[in-house]
Structure 1
Amino acid sequence: MAVDDRFTDFNPKTCVVLGGRGILGKSLVLKLLKLGDWIVRVADSTHSLQLDPSESLLDEAISSSRASYFHLDLTDKHRIAKVLEGSSVVFYMDVDGSNNTDDFYHCYKLIVQGAKNVINACRECKVKRLIYNSSADVVFDCLRDGDKSSAYPWKVDNMLIDLKAQAEALVLNANDIDGVLTCSLRPSNVFGPGDTEFVPYIVKLARYGVTKFIVGTGDNLSDFTFYENVTHAHICAEEALNFQTISVAGKAFFITNLEPMKFWEFLSLLLEGLGYQRPFIKLPANLVQYILSILKWFYEKLGPGHFNYPLLVHYFRLALHTRTFNCSAAQKDIGYSPIVSLEEGVTLTIESFSHLAKDSFSSRCCGSVDRSKADKLLGSGKVADILLWRNEKASFAYFLGLVFLFYWFFLSGNTFISSAARLLLLVTLLLCGHGFLPSKLFGFPTQKVPASNFKISDMAAKDSVAIIVHIWNKGFQNIKELGQGGDWSTFFKVAVFLYLLKSIVAKLLTTLIGIGLAFAFMAFFVYEQYESEIDELADFLTTSLKEFMIYLMRNLPVSVSRLLHYGDNFSVPKDRDGGKI
């Protein structure tokens, strides 16, 4: 029986970690170096290796030649072969750049063609084992307790998932060709410190207020996987592929934390840990599907660069459906079991993303020099804080107060003077009743309104009177000039303005105030959240309007076009002294 070379200090095994600078790649490299019987080649698309302070072990391994780094382009067949030459195992993780959803050809070259190149290089270099890091999404069809035999769906809306499934099929079909043994791991909803997709996207949605809503019933279950468990599964798969070839080679295995839980409960743990409100408002699934169809139309019209529609759809699919996976094959055949529990994983993740916590984000926003356009437009003061919903309770209180005043003065059916009188009477009664309250009510202290709140300083009163007198005198002066007929231009301007004001007050004032109230509390907040997208849409509409006008001018009759051109260039003729003729 051959001696396992992993336990021979003088002959350690050489492996290559493709995608070694991603979240899973870094974790796998660290685990392999801790085992002490591997020479690790780290390969990724970044040109140079920049180590974090937490990667001291990798730094020491590079210094002692137990590790090395290679810049790698998966489209370069010869370069891949050079990196893999002399290695016995290849761990094929995610490579940076493969998540660019804007360019199908680029993604296809990296994911599918890249997988073909890696397989061919493994066969050429006599690599013994190839472990591919896939995803449970490749068989995402609203599964419950899916097993490793789950077939690929006929139709996949997400381009990256479709390409990932093609790459996995290529790896599994290449098993035992030229001596290369292959297998694939399918982790579900990977999360953890250093995550660049799932957690940051959830936090982004939380800042937009989207995560306050529960889509559907909220009872759907999901499987989640802490990233260290995924890298542990890769090591288990390599060992099993070496010793239990028949039950492992050419097969795919689901990897989870073996703790399925409600998707919205998991989301609540993350959000509350980072200081955000947990989901509490339920939305019908049909309504969300309708909203997604509208977003899809915008996505197709504006192009991929405006917002990540596929990622948004994937999030809502997770949020809507039960999706759990049966990991019994991974437990039995490769000896996998989680080394970090789901609770501990969530705690570690929250700690690592403390910089994305709500308090941290708010403090950065308030102290930031580069304020949003909406904040600058509103003066960056108390009004901006209210209309941009910096403090949700205060903003909601002001909104309700203004809605009450709008109803009281405009929708109650009373005249403005009678509404003001009734409001003054109501305030007076409330203040009188408040004054008679005891210092404690049912054991709770009652807070009195200090009399200083109702006092106006002499200086403020004088300033107010001076302003009123100035406005009165200025108006009287204008009326006097109009009465003497000295300024007909101003007279016509005032007349037109008063007529328009009378028309608006008589017919549209209530509607305009109601629209303005809703607009103020919604438009500025929405614009701040989607500033770049709205600016791009405005530029798109402006450009389209200009192009339409150019097209219209080109297709107008010659006589009309000349008339318009003549009107634009028309000037009043003048005499030699500059006076009008």
Structure 2
Amino acid sequence: MEDRLTELNRRTCVVLGGRGFLGRSLVLRLLALPNWIVRVADSPRSLHLHPLHDSLLSQALSSGRASCYPLDVLDYSQIFQAIEGSSVVFYMDVSDLQRDDFYKCYMIIVQGAKNVINACRECKVRRLIYNSSADVVFNGLHDINNGDESLTYPWKFEDMMSDLKAQAEALILFANNIDGLLTCALRPSNIFGPGETQLVPLLVNLVKSGWAKFIIGSGENMSDFTYAENVSHAHICAEEALDFRMVSVAGKAFFITNLEPMKFWDFVSLISDSLGYQRPLIKVPARMVWYILLLVKWVHEKLGSRKYNHSVSVHYIQVASRTRTFNCAAAQKHIGYSPVVSMEEGATLTMKSLSNVAEDSYYARYNSFNEQSKIEKLLGSGEVADILLWRDEKKTFIYFLSLVLLFYWFFLSGRTFMSSAAKLLLLINVILFGYGIVSSKIVAITFQRIPPSCCEVSETAVKYSVATLAYIWNNGIQHIQSLAQGEDWRNFFKVAVSLYFLRLILLQSLTAVIGVALVFSFTAFFVYEQYESEIDGFVKVLFNSIKGSVGLLTRNLLASLSSFLRNYNSFLRNKGHAAL
């Protein structure tokens, strides 16, 4: 009898975008409640079920508690068919969008919201709940500390998606109480969870690439995060509040978070730890990162590249360097929201799923960090490459510090080179002699003796060194013979340019040259490897610009010279005629 009563009291709801990340979570939570019949509406390609992950939905489809509808929010008839006869519509993100296609994003987000509103009014749907974002009040330029619903939309957004989301949210809230339709919007901040397709995959790939070791800004900025299941729970709470026609809920927007703000870079550290990578530790000024980003954007625009997504990078830098915390008191008071999954539990579940997220993420498809870089091939892929490319930060830092100390000892200490070398050898001699006479064991500390073989050079190493010197000598002799024959002009120009640059270098202070070379070696190779494609592209654009300028200058000079010669010849002819 009780089951029969429950079946009679079931209401029909529609989840637009029900196969997306948040849509799946909401569908499962609705199906776990006995009083809902759920319609899942999404693009046809998203409606295919996974036999393992969608078992609950498959059972609901078999029993008639769920149904699937193909949906294109730009097709009004499909929206009408999906929501007709329902009492509530949950409007989630319908599909993943390409952020570099403004027209498509505008049509799906803004025009799609208009179509959904009109269809709800025509079908006499009672409640429409929109999944918005906390980004709609964030312009990327200022911190938000415990922000509440009194915050207004910014005049200008740095992120296109936030701008379009704000427009869609405003349309839906403005439609409240028209033709009996009650609306509200939820603004979750930094959504995460197993299967999330934006924030977490981006951070995973930044960690794997090594870029997440750089902290943008002070690293003290706080952020609010929201576990996906808490967002789904908030939607159901909002529906129940709207069902009682609460004036304090209808036409309003509410911030939704886990109520446990934390440092943004602590969250990145959790991901680094779960993947076995180094935590973020190097602080970089946000303004410097911004200028680098503008340069990268310019290079990609010149190259006409479509793989680089500038808006994603801008939004990440803003979120990573600014404080963004929100007050959920209104959601707690008016819709009865409180998190059902704690931050600790949600983070644990998310970190366990990171391997799958990293493989399937949008960003991983465009970034492969296993391929050997050109600079690594140039350096020989050996120990030198590992040191200069910072493969092992501790080892590289030790080498760098040692070279800096030697540079100071020989060039900056004020002594001559010979006196510095003599004092260094004397110091090494004293250390070795002291190490030799010291007791092998002092206060339970054992000193290992240096074996004689440590200072021996193998016969193979000697032969290899001699062969290398012989090769260099013979190669030099061949170049000299080639120059003496006067036939290889390319070789002549190479030698001449090299000697000219060597002359310029030797004209400068040797100390400054060596210092610059030391810093350059430990920074330039690493930077080039990280921005290999961008730097190559910039050089290509610069080369083409110079080539085009030279060609234009040559043509203009030739045209001017030709014009001058014609005028001169004409002048001579006129002068000859006058003489005759």
Q: TM-score range by the shorter chain?
A: 0.7 to 0.9
Sequence identity (%): 57
**8 Å contact from structure 2 (residues 187, 255) kept in 1:** yes
> For structure 2, which runs of at least 5 residues remain unmatched after alignment?
359-367, 565-580
Q: 1:69 maps to what in 2? A: 68
User: Offset of 1:205 from its aligned partner?
Assistant: 3.9
**8 Å contact from structure 1 (residues 17, 40) kept in 2:** yes
- What SS does the corresponding residue of 1:47 show, helix, strand or coil? helix
User: Offset of 1:337 from its aligned partner?
Assistant: 1.0
Matches of 1:89 and 1:478, distance apart in 2: 83
**8 Å contact from structure 1 (residues 184, 251) kept in 2:** yes
Matched, 1:84 2:114: no
Matched, 1:9 2:7: yes
Matched, 1:428 2:429: yes
Alpha-carbon distance change, 435 to 58 in structure 1, aligned in 2, over 3 angstroms = farther
Alpha-carbon distance change, 447 to 6 in structure 1, aligned in 2, over 3 angstroms = farther
User: Offset of 1:248 from its aligned partner?
Assistant: 1.9
Alpha-carbon distance change, 463 to 148 in structure 1, aligned in 2, over 3 angstroms = closer
Matches of 1:43 and 1:344, distance apart in 2: 30
Alignment of structure 1 residues 100-139 onto 2, 5 Å: 100-139=98-137
**8 Å contact from structure 2 (residues 87, 125) kept in 1:** yes
Q: Which amino acid aligns with 2:189?
A: S
**8 Å contact from structure 1 (residues 299, 306) kept in 2:** no
Matches of 2:475 and 2:12, distance apart in 1: 90
451-460 or 306-315, larger mean C-alpha shift = 306-315
- What SS does the corresponding residue of 2:13 show, helix, strand or coil? strand
Q: 1:567 maps to what in 2? A: none
**8 Å contact from structure 2 (residues 15, 92) kept in 1:** yes
TM-score by length of 2: 0.81
User: Offset of 1:236 from its aligned partner?
Assistant: 1.4
- What SS does the corresponding residue of 2:431 show, helix, strand or coil? helix
- What SS does the corresponding residue of 1:121 show, helix, strand or coil? helix
Q: Which amino acid aligns with 2:75?
A: D
Matches of 1:547 and 1:495, distance apart in 2: 27
**8 Å contact from structure 2 (residues 14, 88) kept in 1:** yes
Matches of 2:205 and 2:458, distance apart in 1: 47
Q: 1:555 maps to what in 2? A: 556
**8 Å contact from structure 1 (residues 145, 325) kept in 2:** yes
User: Offset of 1:174 from its aligned partner?
Assistant: 0.8
Alpha-carbon distance change, 41 to 438 in structure 1, aligned in 2, over 3 angstroms = farther
Matched, 1:507 2:507: yes
TM-score by length of 1: 0.81
Matches of 2:5 and 2:298, distance apart in 1: 56
**8 Å contact from structure 1 (residues 306, 533) kept in 2:** no
User: Offset of 1:184 from its aligned partner?
Assistant: 0.7
318-327 or 83-92, larger mean C-alpha shift = 318-327
**8 Å contact from structure 1 (residues 183, 248) kept in 2:** yes
**8 Å contact from structure 1 (residues 274, 356) kept in 2:** no
**8 Å contact from structure 2 (residues 195, 357) kept in 1:** no
Q: 1:575 maps to what in 2? A: none
Q: 1:222 maps to what in 2? A: 223
> For structure 1, which runs of at least 5 residues remain unmatched after alignment?
358-366, 564-581
**8 Å contact from structure 1 (residues 212, 277) kept in 2:** no
Alpha-carbon distance change, 32 to 457 in structure 1, aligned in 2, over 3 angstroms = same
Matches of 2:499 and 2:446, distance apart in 1: 55
**8 Å contact from structure 2 (residues 299, 537) kept in 1:** no
**8 Å contact from structure 1 (residues 28, 232) kept in 2:** yes
309-318 or 224-233, larger mean C-alpha shift = 309-318
Matched, 1:174 2:167: no
Q: 1:400 maps to what in 2? A: 401
Matches of 2:425 and 2:64, distance apart in 1: 84
Q: Which amino acid aligns with 1:110?
A: I
Alpha-carbon distance change, 95 to 521 in structure 1, aligned in 2, over 3 angstroms = farther
389-398 or 274-283, larger mean C-alpha shift = 274-283
Matches of 1:273 and 1:388, distance apart in 2: 24
User: Offset of 1:112 from its aligned partner?
Assistant: 1.0
- What SS does the corresponding residue of 1:257 show, helix, strand or coil? coil
Alpha-carbon distance change, 476 to 198 in structure 1, aligned in 2, over 3 angstroms = closer
39-48 or 114-123, larger mean C-alpha shift = 39-48
Alpha-carbon distance change, 369 to 560 in structure 1, aligned in 2, over 3 angstroms = farther
Matches of 1:410 and 1:173, distance apart in 2: 72
72-81 or 271-280, larger mean C-alpha shift = 271-280
Q: Which amino acid aligns with 1:255?
A: I
Q: Which amino acid aligns with 1:345?
A: G
User: Offset of 1:291 from its aligned partner?
Assistant: 4.3
**8 Å contact from structure 1 (residues 92, 130) kept in 2:** yes
Matches of 2:94 and 2:449, distance apart in 1: 64
Matches of 2:384 and 2:111, distance apart in 1: 55
**8 Å contact from structure 2 (residues 196, 357) kept in 1:** no
Matches of 1:233 and 1:82, distance apart in 2: 27
Alpha-carbon distance change, 6 to 182 in structure 1, aligned in 2, over 3 angstroms = farther
User: Offset of 1:56 from its aligned partner?
Assistant: 2.2
Q: 1:375 maps to what in 2? A: 376
Matches of 2:474 and 2:534, distance apart in 1: 48
Q: Which amino acid aligns with 2:107?
A: K
Q: 1:148 maps to what in 2? A: 149
- What SS does the corresponding residue of 1:213 show, helix, strand or coil? strand
Alignment of structure 1 residues 27-426 onto 2, 5 Å: 27-45=25-43, 47-52=45-50, 53-98=52-97, 100-140=98-138, 142-206=143-207, 207-213=209-215, 215-216=217-218, 218-281=219-282, 287-289=285-287, 291-293=289-291, 295-296=293-294, 299=297, 302-303=300-301, 305=306, 307-354=308-355, 370-412=371-413, 419-426=420-427
